[in-house]
Amino acid sequence: MAFSTNGSEESELYHAQIHLYKHVYNFVSSMALKSAMELGIADAIHNHGKPMTLSELASSLKLHPSKVNILYRFLRLLTHNGFFTKTTVKSNEEEETAYGLTPSSKLLISGKSTCLSTLIEGALHASSIDMWKSSKKWFNEDKEQTLFECATGENYWDFLNKDSESGTLSLFQDAMAADSRMFKLALHENKNVFEGLESLVDVAGGTGAVTKLIHEAFPQIKCTVFDQPQVVGNLTGNENLNFVSGDMFKSIPPADAVLLKWVLHDWNDELSLKILKNSKEAISHKGKDGKVIIIDISIDETSDDRRLTELQLEYDLVMLTMFLGKERTKQEWEKLIYDAGFSSYKITPISGFKSLVEVYP
């Protein structure tokens, strides 16, 4: 890096050092958050009904007295990062700091429909972290494989299915279900997308978290959750909610609309094109009235919201390293959609950092 010579060289160097150190140690904030989730700090404060002092928290969490100061230092970082609040309370005529919840830490409260604890467990699972040790090897090998494959010798899907007895597959499904429950907010704001449909198939719909929300809002729609046999084989529904097993790369059950939530970003353009073409075939009986509903990220690097763009770009690297998938820009979505033979589309931002893409024949 070249530094200016107008007297600000030292200042520029210091700022560059801070920027670099910040990104080197970002993982500490992630791991501190994971520790807070595993300890159940948010649950303790929520169950207490009001902010808790350090001693109250340590007692509630059944921590050894030697760990109280360690808890304080974790809370100091997590409070700075916006996961807890600090207030002053009087205890035995002395003032103490009490820690309360923020909207972000409320997402860690167990049993709530918006709880995202399993998402933290899945994203920060040892298998997802350890693979980065092999990144240099991955870059220097002339093989079309994911970073996960380079590090472990198997692809992520095989790892999940093979390791199902240890709970890894269940953890992945729970994490996806937790994320899907956040869809309830977006569904309320975008009900018009589903109005008028008589049938819908949720492709790679897992255990049906999203489909159940749609079924709840629109009980008249005949909903089908379509996924692999090991995912839906033992699941049962009702008259207007059923589970069907199959392979989306071969065919998709017919319906008025096909829902692809968090699906296409797992795959490269060639395989995504195959899924979209099969989706188009599935809605062909409806003529121009059928549609494909995609929920995924649409990257906008020109956005003024740098934090949002950074999150989207980080997700892109997650998809790349785990699946050789990708998050797409509006231009990339347009090319993929038209290459699949569709005539038009509409992109609507939803759920903070995702978008809803309606695709028409």
Q: How far is CA 11 from CA 25, 179, 288, in A?
A: 21, 42, 61
Catalytic positions, written as ranges: 265
